[in-house]
Structure 1
Amino acid sequence: MVINFIPFRFSIDTVVIAGTCLWSLSLYLGLSSFRESVIEGLNRWFNFAERSLYRTQEEFEKTRQVRESQNAFYASLFSILPFFIIGGFCNWGVELGLGQSWSISMGILACMTCGVYELGRRSA
């Protein structure tokens, strides 16, 4: 039992986690130009940081294609973090203004609205 080893208790509010995830998903869908710039910036930074790990140019060029693909994957994965933080603030603002019962509902509405916007933006 893990509870026996931890001297204190902490509670996890599932409504806050669900609301934050819904808001971050809606922002991720709705702010596509910001999403692409975050992914591109992270990809550039990962490629730059990894270049400093190699001593010779031949060693660097040997696995370049694989590393760039891996860095693109990591950049896409880590691009979620800013949206999760901003989504947490949006969820907190809705809870502050309307109450905790509205945070999930507004997150669902925001997801549907931004999903429809993204579908319309891609078809145009």
Structure 2
Amino acid sequence: MLEILPFSFEINTVAIAGASLWSLALYLAFSNLRDKVTDLLDRWFNFAEGFLYTSKEEFEKTRKARESQNAFYASVFSIVPFLIFGAIANWLLDLGLGGSWGISTGILACMGCGVYELGRRDGQSEE
């Protein structure tokens, strides 16, 4: 099974875990940015899909289903910038503090940002 590929590569699971934790923390902390990115991607998907149709009637007939599907895709793809910045944050922590600090501080950041998000939503519901 290992001889299928003519080359070998190692997967750094510690870096993947640290980057994932930091991206989750950033995703929770920056909810306004998350919503703006999702809306921007949703608008762009709806705009770009308009060029795929030659008939205006067919375009209008499938509008509701396409917009729902594009909203789903936008919410999934809105994670990508946070994954990139989470990987950068983890890499900087690895450079500055050492290998295991990315995961340790990522867990703390996730807990802190989760509490912040719960408090922010509770404050919004009281208004």
| TM class, shorter-length | over 0.9
Instruction: Provide TM-score, normalisation by structure 2.
Output: 0.95
Partner SS, residue 51 of structure 1 = helix
CA distance in 2, matches of 1:83, 1:50: 25
How many equivalent pairs are there? 123
- Following TM superposition, the consecutive aligned residue runs of length 4 or more in structure 1 with deviations greater than 3 angstroms are none
Matched residue, 2:28: 29
Matched residue, 1:17: 16
Matched residue, 1:43: 42
| Percentage of identical aligned residues | 64
Q: Tell me the alpha carbon deviations over residues 58-104 of structure 1, each in whole angstroms, 9 at most, x when there is no partner.
A: 11011100000000000000000000000000000111111012111
Matched residue, 1:64: 63
Q: Tell me the alpha carbon deviations over residues 18-77 of structure 1, each in whole angstroms, 9 at most, x when there is no partner.
A: 000000000000000000010000000100010111112111011100000000000000
Q: Which moved more, 1:10-19 or 1:53-62?
A: 53-62
User: RMSD of aligned C-alpha atoms?
Assistant: 0.6
Instruction: Provide TM-score, normalisation by structure 1.
Output: 0.97
| Displacement of 1:108 | 0.1
